[in-house]
Amino acid sequence: MQPFFVALLAGLGFVVAYHTYGRWLGRRIFELSAKTVCPSLALEDGVDYVPTSKGVVFGHHFTSIAGTGPIVGPAIAVMWGWVPALLWVVLGSIFIGAVHDFGALVVSLRHRGQTVGDIAGKVMNRRVRLLFLFILFMALTIVLAIFGLVIASVFKMYPAAIFPCLIQIPLATLIGFWLNRKGVNLLLPSLISLVIMYGTVLYGNEGWLGTLNASMQSWNLITWVILLLVYSYVASVLPVWTLLQPRDYINSLQLISALALIVLGLMGAAFLGGASAPGGGERAPLEWVAPAFQWHPEGAPFIFPFLFITIACGAISGFHCLVSSGTSSKQLKSEPDARFVGYGSMLTEGFLATLVIVACAAGLGLGLEVQGQWVSGVEAWEARYATWGAAGSLGAKVAAFVDGAANLLRSIGLAAPVALALMAVLVASFAGTTLDTACRLQRYVIQELASTVSTSSFSMPWSWLTNRHGATLFGILIAAVVAAAPAPGQADWSLATSGKGGLILWPLFGATNQLLAGLAFLVITFHLWRRNKPVWFLILPALFMLVMPMWAMLLQLFFGNGSGKSWLASGHWLLVGVGITTIALEVWMLIEALIMFPKVKGVLEHSSDNVVPQAATESS
């Protein structure tokens, strides 16, 4: 029963934080005002800048920032103990992650909906802008190369999730046109979409659909990756209201309802125990089966600094500043909505990460079939977490959450196949929304870089990258080339081995992603500093998010992380090259920031950077 009360207290903590710290930030620091004209209204173009209700923007924002990050990160971090993992999720979300997301969203709103990389050139200088954009390009390339693999892997393990995920695309398009042309209220299409979504989960693996799922399950990984990247291209170039917004909104309803089911399952398991074993017997009690603390598991790196880059999205993630400043800021139609979307979405994701920790550290103990034998308690947990190497694989992390959460759903009477399908759809849907949003964000980054280069004497070769089709195609092709390579350690290329190339650069993502968060804090700090606003609450989070990921990357580059040789000693020259380049770019940006910081207090950047002058302060 203890895991239930821990999750309950964490949830209450998030609610209190939203109504206290989040309100203080909105009112006193960012001074959100309903009188300020947002970029979606001032620059409305029907493609990227589209005024949208806060509920729909929340759906897009939450599903885009969540992805599989708050699932795979906590699912492996429980090996260091569920207590440090939970503390980092709760405290990190409230005081670091939500502040980062909220700040990036507001700063973008005040700078014509531009991305945080472009804004860096205004509040700092042009050199910083280019450095930031190159870091964004590298990070998004890794996301595009790896998230197609994540979805394909889920489909391989849980074929019942294939049809429910694919049907979302035509369903979202129909609803998008319905809402845009008819102007109907969201309630009716929301109810219809939920019924269809859960119908496909319940019956999407029956009869000919089951045969279709089984056939698609047999496709090789590279086929799935290419198809998903093609889908991402289409989603990126279409107006946001045709596919991106409705798909993310449908996903948010389905995903939030799935979270509600997990909470109900957690309550059922706490008071009734888990479902009986397949052959019958007593219901296992819900209790912690993972260790509370385990500073240095065998074969694993030490908890510092690696906990803070392993759990990213569940506590803070640099990718979130791209969503806040890349897509969400172009859709909000009222500034006070920024707290609900920016701060509220991150706390919701923190609660998701909390449930993942409970599912992996307690839910697994309710029972698991291992080699034809039913085991429960600590034995069930050790079956998934026997070694660091086994637990760290992509499939193991996803399976640990899916099995643990499905056990919670089974405790309230859901059949095992339905429970597993629901959780697999949850994972694949999160990954899908991150994939299509990342593709649109990469398009913005490439366009911004190309527009800079096109103003020079080398304009001719790069001008085609300034339009949305050319930029998107370039981003997709780069990601496809990376993804098409075989997995690390597999020298021979074939259709059977290709598709896992993203794993080559994946070790870089955790540290690069968190470094990006630290750099985004610099941009937020400079924006406030120029306006004589307090920045004391940003200093520690910014330092923490600059030091921890750089420490982790340096260890992996030159000393190893405790579970293997360093990248340098192992001859992983691509990792070494990209890692050193990333560190060099960060150090360069920090030097630029330190030189500029004492000179720009109270000095506004050019007034044309803002949509309109800020209006008087109103309640957020």
**Looking at 182-196, 241-255, 517-531, 559-573, which range is the least confident one?**
182-196
pLDDT attached to residue 281: 73
State the pLDDT at residue 102.
98
Phi, psi of 488 (to 5 degrees): -55, 135
- pTM (2 d.p.): 0.89
Burial class (CB in 10 A: 0-12, 13-18, 19+), 492: exposed
- Let me know: does 27 contact 336? Beta carbons within 8 Å: no
Q: Which of 141, 146, 151 is nearest to 441 (CA)?
A: 141
Measured in residues, the chain has a length of 620
- What angle, 0 to 180 degrees and rounded to 10, lies between the N-to-C axes of helices 416-454 and 244-272? 140
For residue 457, is pLDDT > 60? no
Q: Which domain holds residue 207?
A: 2-489
Go through 506-525 and write b for each residue having 16 or more CB atoms within 10 A of its CB, e for each that does not: bbbbbbbbbbbbbbbbbbbb
* 119 domain residue, yes or no: yes
Task: Give the pLDDT mean for 384-406.
Answer: 76
Concatenate the DSSP letters of all residues of 237-269 into one string.
HS-TTTTHHHHHHHHHHHHHHHHHHHHHHHHHH
Rounded Cα gap, residues 18 and 42, in angstroms: 29
Label residue 80 by pLDDT band (50, 70, 90): very high
Of 30-39, 65-74, 310-319, 608-617, highest mean pLDDT: 30-39
Answer whether residue 463 is part of any domain.
yes
**Given a cut of 50, is residue 216 above it in pLDDT?**
yes
Per-residue confidence band for 608, with pLDDT thresholds at 50, 70 and 90: very low
Residues of 278-293 as b/e, b for ≥16 C-beta within 10 angstroms?
eeeeebbbbbbbbbee
In terms of pLDDT, which residue wins out, 324 or 465? 324
Q: Is residue 449 part of a domain?
A: yes
In a domain, 159, yes or no: yes
SS3 state at 370: strand
Domain count within the chain: 1
Q: Each residue of 514-569: pLDDT tens digit?
A: 988 998 999 999 999 999 999 999 999 999 999 999 999 999 999 887 667 888 88
The highest-confidence range among 309-313, 357-361, 432-436, 466-470, by mean pLDDT, is 357-361
Is a pLDDT exceeding 90 seen at residue 156? no
| pLDDT tens, position by position, 475-520 | 999 988 888 887 776 667 777 677 777 777 778 888 888 988 998 9
The upper half-sphere exposure of residue 319, i.e. CA atoms within 13 Å in the direction of its Cβ, equals 35
Q: Write down the pLDDT at residue 275.
A: 82
Distances (CA, A) of 30 to 57, 153, 310, 483, 542: 20, 42, 30, 41, 18
Average pLDDT, the chain: 85
pLDDT(619) > 50: no
**How far is Cα 485 from Cα 25, in angstroms, rounded to an integer?**
45
**Residues 381, 400: Cα–Cα separation, whole Å:** 9
Rounded to whole angstroms, the Cα distance separating 465 from 470 reads: 5
pLDDT at 459 over 60: no
Indicate whether 64 belongs to any domain: yes
pLDDT for 395: 66
d(CA 250, CA 246): 6
Provide the pLDDT confidence category of residue 161 given band limits of 50, 70 and 90: confident
pLDDT tens per residue across span 404-435: 999 999 999 888 888 888 888 888 887 888 88
Question: Rounded to whole angstroms, what are the CA distances from 257 to 93, 191, 209, 262, 315?
Answer: 21, 12, 24, 9, 22
More confident of the two residues 336 and 375: 336
Residue 456 reports pLDDT greater than 60: no
Mean pLDDT value across residues 82-90:
96
How far apart are the C-alpha atoms of 8 and 153, rounded to whole Å?
Answer: 32
Rounded to an integer, what distance in angstroms lies between the CA atom of residue 494 and that of residue 510?
A: 28
Q: Is residue 415 part of a domain?
A: yes
In a domain, 445, yes or no: yes
Tell me the DSSP string of 555-607.
IIIII--SSS--HHHHT-HHHHHHHHHHHHHHHHHHHHHHHHGGG-TT----G
Tokens linked to 182:
């008819």
Asked whether residue 603 carries a pLDDT value surpassing 80, the answer given is: yes
pLDDT of residue 328: 93
Q: Would you say residue 332 lies in a domain?
A: yes
Instruction: Give the pLDDT score at 92.
Output: 97
pLDDT score recorded for residue 615: 38
Q: Can you give the pLDDT at residue 394?
A: 62
Cα distance between the two ends of the chain: 38
* Weakest-pLDDT range from 193-197, 323-327, 351-355: 193-197
pLDDT band at 184 (very low <50, low <70, confident <90, very high): low
The pLDDT confidence band at residue 264, using thresholds 50, 70 and 90, is very high
Element (H, E) at 217: helix 207-217
Among the ranges given (172-176, 187-191, 194-198, 466-470), the one the predictor scored with the smallest mean pLDDT: 187-191
pLDDT at 186: 64
